[in-house]
Structure 1
Amino acid sequence: MTARRTAALLLLLAVLTSCGQEGERAARSVPAPSRTPTAAASADATDSAWVQLMIPMNEQAMFLLDLAAERSTVPRLRSWAARLRGAQTTELLSLRELRDRMGLPDTDVHEGHDMPGMVTADDLESAREAEGAAFDRLVVALIRDHLRRSEQVSRSETTAGGRADARARARKLVTARGEQLAALTALCAGRAADVP
């Protein structure tokens, strides 16, 4: 139990200390209905911190994936980005359902914070301004960071979380991230001249 509490504290510390500079966040691309938390469901601090971080991480990444699917100079990268965007949309719906079962509000507690692995408004602006190979390199770097960071935080939830359904969702996310990172690595390695 002590190891679990230590892991939970480390996860919370990582989430809370990674809140960085204030910044304007882009609007959400997948609208969620407004809801009132229910008193029946409950979540411990680790579960709450995890789900409330994963939702905005996915929301922000989808803006970048939209750009990649439309503007990449590499057809395989465009296709991969479109598939990943679909997977993240499905994941986001599951995370929101979990949040609702946990009785958490649908507000973004990280709004205005630049979290590690989160695509920021500045990142999106840089991507919009970039062209050609520079755009592809930027997209690959940002999405790789998003996938790695969300995998790391989700792995912590699998061992430190208090709710079985949250840990199960986190395990699925860890598995998905491993597959997505492997696919991105293979894409980049197989088309080294096209995708840095």
Structure 2
Amino acid sequence: MYLPAHFAETRPEQLHRIINDHPLGMMVTHTAAGLEAQHIPFLLDPAQGAQGVLLAHVARANTVWQEVASGDAVMVVFRGVEGYISPNWYPSKHETHRAVPTWNYEVVHAHGTVHVHDDEKFLRGLVARLTRVHEAAQPVPWKMGDAPPDYLSDMLGKIVGLEVRITRLEGKRKLSQNHEARNRAGVIQGLEAQGHPGLAQAMRDASV
């Protein structure tokens, strides 16, 4: 990843935040057929291993779990907030006209090794954790016990677990850090007017 120093993000808490807030990762693997990309919701467990682990499951019909060997290198890409930046939002543009469009964004590349878990105990624990995380905001959270035991066992048999043991996290937050303060303020105002408050807030946070 092209990573100018002023856009580099190395703080673990920020990298973890992006992953937790945007858990649908793109896992890139190298198979006999070439490069493959799988789009999978991951759960980050930062307490496991030196760098943490990413946990997920895929449909048994998805052959990715058969196309990788335990310990193969993979990369999982997590995209955070992002959006188009118009040069018209820069006050300096109206003075010099020396400005062009760009795109602001947050992204994390998680490098690691993939390990397949094809056992019900692992899958039950993983699904329970995923459920607690993603159902937490629901008025009446769904829980595994809501499903009939035979149905749940059947559904667990149709998935396979994946664990990515993280060896390196690489982060980039391109949020107009290379612009003067008044241009950054103009971009924040423009984003909010266009209905992108999340990206505007990320820019505010990056300037602190």
TM-score range, shorter chain: under 0.3
More strand by share: 2
Q: Which has the larger radius of gyration?
A: 2
TM-score by length of 1: 0.23
More helix by share: 1
TM-score by length of 2: 0.22
- Where relative contact order (Cα < 8 A, 6+ residues apart) is larger, the structure is 1
